[in-house]
Chains A and B, each alone.
Chain A
Amino acid sequence: AQSVTQLDSQVPVFEEAPVELRCNYSSSVSVYLFWYVQYPNQGLQLLLKYLSGSTLVKGINGFEAEFNKSQTSFHLRKPSVHISDTAEYFCAVSEDTGGFKTIFGAGTRLFVKA
């Protein structure tokens, strides 16, 4: 069965500093990988996705992630964060078995300090 582990529950960082949010997954079949962001009292918004092809994926708001199949990781990075990036970030995996059964990690709360 697939699973997703987000290694940090909270990540405090100063404004304009770089950040990396870590995500590892487990699956016995091909997977599709996603990062979503959730602002308070809102639904989830897709930041970026890996479906196939290049392992370096660029998303919205300056975020990017790298798919590493050998390490089963999909870490999210941003070279310079802003106060407005403060939110909850979720890594998710969907197995290539038909349908959209997506499993989410527990989330990482990114807190950007001035």
Chain B
Amino acid sequence: KAGVTQTPRYLIKTRGQQVTLSCSPISGHRSVSWYQQTPGQGLQFLFEYFSETQRNKGNFPGRFSGRQFSNSRSEMNVSTLELGDSALYLCASSWGTREQFFGPGTRLTVL
């Protein structure tokens, strides 16, 4: 079974731009969660989607948004990028056992 895939793996943007990251969960997994990892703040929960509905949300500004499609693939969008948005963005999928399977991440650099 293929693991969680994230695209792109690396991304460079400038301040003020917007970015969309994609996550394809393991086949059969209906829950997709997103996390931001930075050296200063560690791993922080962004949001979780289940069956196309946002089920949980972390404490991030409205510039961070996401969605999930009927095939469980998920995208997250960050608008009006700031320097502090530079981070590794991790996606994780699950099918109900509370065990989350993580993708390799997308490293976003904002210049």
- Asked if A28 is at the interface (CB within 8 A of a chain B CB), the reply is no
A-contacting residues, B45-73, CB 8 Å? 45, 48, 50, 55-56, 58
Asked if residues A99 and B42 are in contact (CB atoms below 8 Å), the reply is no
* A89 CB to nearest chain B CB (Å): 12
In the assembled complex, which residues on chain B have CB atoms less than 8 Å from the CB atom of A94? 98
A45 at interface, CB cutoff 8 A: yes
B29-54, CB < 8 A from A = 31, 33, 35, 42-45, 48, 50
State which of A17-25, A70-78, A103-111 sits at the interface with chain B: A103-111
Could you say which residues of chain A place their CB within 8 Å of the CB of B43?
Answer: 90, 104, 107
Chain A residues, Cβ within 8 Å of B35: 104
Q: Please, which residues of chain A bring their CB within 8 A of the CB of B45?
A: 101-104
Q: How many residues of B contact A (CB 8 A)?
A: 25
Interface residues of A (CB under 8 A from B): 32, 34, 36, 42-46, 49, 51, 90, 94, 98-107
For the A-B complex with A49-B98, A99-B50, A100-B56 known, give 14 more contacts whose Cβ atoms are closer than 8 Å: A36-B102, A43-B4, A43-B104, A43-B105, A46-B101, A49-B99, A51-B98, A90-B43, A99-B56, A101-B33, A101-B45, A102-B100, A103-B45, A104-B45
**Chain B interface (Cβ < 8 Å from any Cβ of A):** 4, 31, 33, 35, 42-45, 48, 50, 55-56, 58, 90, 92, 94, 97-105
